[in-house]
Chains A and B, each alone.
Chain A
Amino acid sequence: MGNDIILEMKNICKSFPGVVALNNVSLSIKRGEVHALCGENGAGKSTLMKILYGIYRADSGEIWINGEKRNITSPVKAQENGLSIIFQEFNLVDTLSVAENIFLGRLKTTKSGKIDWKSIEKDAAELMLHIGCDIDPKTPVGSLSVSQKQMVEIAKALSYNAEIIVMDEPSATLTDREMENLYRIIQELKEKKITIIYISHKMDEIFKITDRVTVLRDGVVICTLDTCKTCREEIVSNMVGRCLGQEYPKRENYSGEKVLEVKNINRKGVLNDVSFCLHRGEVLGIAGLVGAGRTELVRAIFGADRISSGKVFVNGKEVRIKSPIDAIRNGIALLTEDRKQQGLILNNTVKENISITNLKDIVKFGLLMNSKENNIAKEYVDRLSVKTSSINQKCINLSGGNQQKVVLAKWLYSNADILILDEPTRGIDVGAKQEIYHIINELVKMGKAVIMISSEIPEVLALSDRILVMHKGRITREFKNESRNVTPEQVMNCAIG
């Protein structure tokens, strides 16, 4: 019984253009266990699960369920095979009721073909009750809280008679009490012999609810451990355990006087009394899990979102920043985490994307001075060695790394002294990453101040002079890192809370 294998993924390989996402990954899951899947962002967890659910096709490899080889080509196929996934982005239609969402696409009808709402609502209510959740099945999903929506997803999975439920970081956005409820439900599901694959970074919950842990790193399975026989440190070191060093260029410490000070910033439900300061010539890293409030913090400072209260000082003077325009005027720049939606105007040219932050500089009497714009664009393209056929190339045709350099170029051109970089190396290849590191080092050498948010802890450790760790909208710890002596485990421990 204990060795009854319900799911086996054998030698799964998957590569995307330029990246090997999964390299010969094998995973076997026992019936009725709660199996944790952990790894850093980009380790391949999501890709693996998307293959399991038929969203991606593996380049090679096999999936066996209940001892039979299965060919899963679509989510619908996956559901037929007793698989269900609860993504962070819920698969629910907000405008429809709880009951209808649970049974969407297979609403029960009477013999005459009429939808039997009474019985559907009864079934839905039973399912919800089954997982200890008391929501009226007639409620529209759009009016539910995140945790309630999660319950609906679980009920939906059960309604498919799912034997295996994958939960993708289900607790990332829940409050403590909601989490307790989730753990209770998982326990109950386990008693009903339902298998759960639980993706998470959070060590305490892994130890609390899971039976075994598989650690993925860089698309390879590092190890599978029995949770009761391992310890937090072992998992963390397996997660982050790549050798640091040459990957990150070295630099001296240039820290100088204070240029930015943030006092008691609050934003309802997102940021809680955040204060910190930033010095000339320093890189300040902000670490934390997804949803910890890092992006929200820098967006608030930049005036992209409103804050409920708090003060911002630039060079010792209080400034009121109500919009990005104010921020730019005060020498603050924000490289957003989402390059394509918020950073670049993809269908416009490289030069237009560079000059956007400082159009005044290339305008005389309202007229664009073409030659000046061209010269400036060329200057920045050279300086950051952006690989593009010309400054008149559209940004959509550049690679991720070069797009990111264009975003950096536009903020350099804005003459910002304070550069906030939110996930500057996300989704770009190793070579381009190193170039970005060099650029960051150059910037602080020039006396600029840099705030860097990154989910890759080694990157934060190697580049930052100081590190702030955020958890649930608060700064929970500050590390001094002049000698690069902070360890990933230390940061991880604070980020987990």
Chain B
Amino acid sequence: MEVGTQKLNTSNLKINDFLKKYKMLLVFVGMIIISSIISDVFMTSRNISNIMRQVSVNGILACGMTFVMLTGGFDLSVGSLISVSAVVAIGMQDYFGVAGAIIIALVIGAIAGSLNGILLSKINANSGDAFMITLGSQLVFAGAALLYTNARVLPGSKSEFYNSLGQGTLFGFIPTPVFIFLIITIISHFILSYTSFGRKIHLLGGNYEAARLSGVRVYFYKAIVYSIVGFTAAIAGIILSSRTLGGSPLAGVGYELDAIAAVIVGGTSLAGGEGSVMRTLLGVFIIGVLSNILNLIGLSSFNQMIVKGIVIVLAVWLDVKKQ
């Protein structure tokens, strides 16, 4: 009798699990079908390549944000970090060469992120603290970027290689930023799914105290994820400054919220523990396709904001309801 009910329960759970896992995928497929019906242009290779290009910067950042949010954390400062790395990567080229400038930008991104991480880990921050503190560092980093360029936009790089990072194509058909996005996604997915590092991040996000009492170095992992998102922000900044052919100290404004939205729409829980890069990828594409189709049907960017905001709340509502 007891075994019987248990079996029933588990089969119920399987259906639930299935829905849970693929609900957003169904939404995405639905969006694509509807989009291709209402717009002839949508399914053209040109448009698809466009979508890919548009989502790549947010996608790269969202990969990093997934690490942070898996631990139950939060980072509002990454938009400003994008700006910092954009101006540093352009500005340093005259002194250290292209490669040197890129490395410096990446290192600065990782270090700046880890400053957040160490502080948040030290005070054992809850999500409210993380919100306020990364808000503070958002201001600091934004100010630093403006300070560095004296609030001007730096002229674009003269290096062909550097400019190809944002604008070129590889193998004749893959836009370079899309390729970078792909690589970052694969690496992030690999780390989170197949390494002990990724496992520990999941465990600590699932239950901080239980992980601590099981011998996980929680302080270290709680800090390091901010370093990772800082690093991805730096990559995003480099691509942006190459795509726009200039280092703007405002390059990254607002990107943090897009990345957070993508992670949440993908179904990573705000409390941490549950989520994956694949889900984030889905979130990135849902938002990307949504923007694209709204564009194609001629909706203004303002109207797009309206739809975006509603979709984000609806997505989380779906998530809450199933519990």
Contact = CB atoms under 8 A, between A and B. Distances in A.
Contact of A367 (B6, B195, B209, B212): B195
Identify the interface centre among A304, A343, A359, A393: most chain B CB within 10 Å of its CB: A359
Given A324-B213, A342-B210, A352 B199 contact: yes
A345 B214 CA distance: 10
Interface in A296-328: 302, 304, 324-325, 327-328
A447 to B, nearest CB: 22
B213 A325 contact: no
Given A342-B209, A368-B199, A347 B273 contact: yes
A367 B194 contact: yes
Given A341-B209, A341-B210, A348-B206, A356 B273 contact: no
Contact of B10 (A334, A360, A397, A414): A397
A347 B208 CA distance: 12
Contact of A345 (B6, B10, B273): B273
B224 to A, nearest CB: 14
Contact of B203 (A302, A325, A343, A352): A352
A347 B9 CA distance: 17
B207 A346 contact: yes
Given A345-B203, A397-B10, A304 B210 contact: no
Given A325-B215, A325-B217, A348-B202, A359 B196 contact: yes
A9 B181 CA distance: 68
A336 interface: yes
A344 interface: yes
Chain A CB count within 10 A is highest, among B13, B207, B209, B274, for B207
Given A356-B203, A359-B200, A366-B197, A347 B274 contact: yes
B194 A324 contact: no
B316 interface: no
A366 B217 CA distance: 15
A414 B273 CA distance: 23
A305 B197 CA distance: 25
Contacts of A341: 207, 209-210
A346 B206 CA distance: 7
B253 interface: no
A175 to B, nearest CB: 29
A397 B9 contact: yes
A291 to B, nearest CB: 21
Contacts of B209: 341-342
Contacts of A334: 213
A389 interface: yes
B210 to A, nearest CB: 5
A327 B213 CA distance: 10
B144 interface: no
Contacts of B210: 341-345
A324 B214 contact: yes
Interface in A175-195: none
Categorize the interface residue count of chain B: 20 to 34
B122 to A, nearest CB: 15
A250 B212 CA distance: 35
Most buried by A among B213, B214, B215: B214
Contacts of A362: 196
A357 interface: yes
A363 interface: yes
B287 to A, nearest CB: 25
Nearest to B7: A389
A364 to B, nearest CB: 10
B216 interface: yes
A336 B211 CA distance: 12
A352 B273 CA distance: 12
B204 to A, nearest CB: 9
Contacts of A359: 196, 199-200
A302 B213 CA distance: 9
A352 B274 CA distance: 13
B190 to A, nearest CB: 9
A474 interface: no
A405 interface: no
Interface in B215-243: 215-217
Contacts of B216: 356
Contacts of B199: 352, 359, 368
Contacts of B202: 348, 352
Contacts of A325: 215, 217
Q: B7, B206, B217 — which one has the most chain A CB atoms within 10 A of its CB?
A: B206
B197 A324 contact: no
A344 B207 CA distance: 8
Contacts of A344: 207, 210
A156 interface: no
A294 interface: no
Contacts of B10: 389, 393, 397
Given A345-B207, A347-B206, A397-B9, A357 B215 contact: yes
Given A324-B212, A341-B209, A366 B196 contact: yes
A341 B206 CA distance: 10
A328 B215 contact: yes
A35 interface: no
Contact of A356 (B195, B211, B217): B211
Contacts of B213: 302, 304, 324, 334, 336, 342-343
A419 to B, nearest CB: 14
Nearest to B197: A366
Interface in A8-24: none
Contacts of A357: 214-215
A341 B10 CA distance: 24
A95 to B, nearest CB: 16
Given A334-B213, A348-B273, A357-B215, A366 B207 contact: no
Given A357-B214, A359-B199, A366-B197, A345 B206 contact: yes
A366 B203 contact: no
A267 interface: no
Interface in B162-209: 194-197, 199-200, 202-203, 206-207, 209
A108 to B, nearest CB: 34
A428 to B, nearest CB: 15
B9 to A, nearest CB: 7
Given A328-B214, A344-B207, 20 more contacts: A304-B213, A325-B215, A334-B213, A342-B209, A342-B213, A345-B203, A347-B274, A348-B202, A348-B203, A356-B215, A356-B216, A357-B215, A367-B194, A367-B195, A368-B194, A368-B196, A368-B199, A389-B7, A397-B13, A414-B215
20 contacts: A304-B212, A304-B213, A324-B213, A324-B214, A328-B214, A336-B213, A341-B207, A347-B274, A348-B202, A352-B203, A356-B203, A356-B216, A357-B215, A359-B199, A363-B195, A366-B197, A367-B194, A367-B196, A397-B9, A397-B10
Interface of B: 6-7, 9-10, 13, 194-197, 199-200, 202-203, 206-207, 209-217, 273-274
Interface of A: 302, 304, 324-325, 327-328, 334, 336, 341-348, 352, 356-357, 359-360, 362-363, 366-368, 387, 389, 393, 397, 410, 414
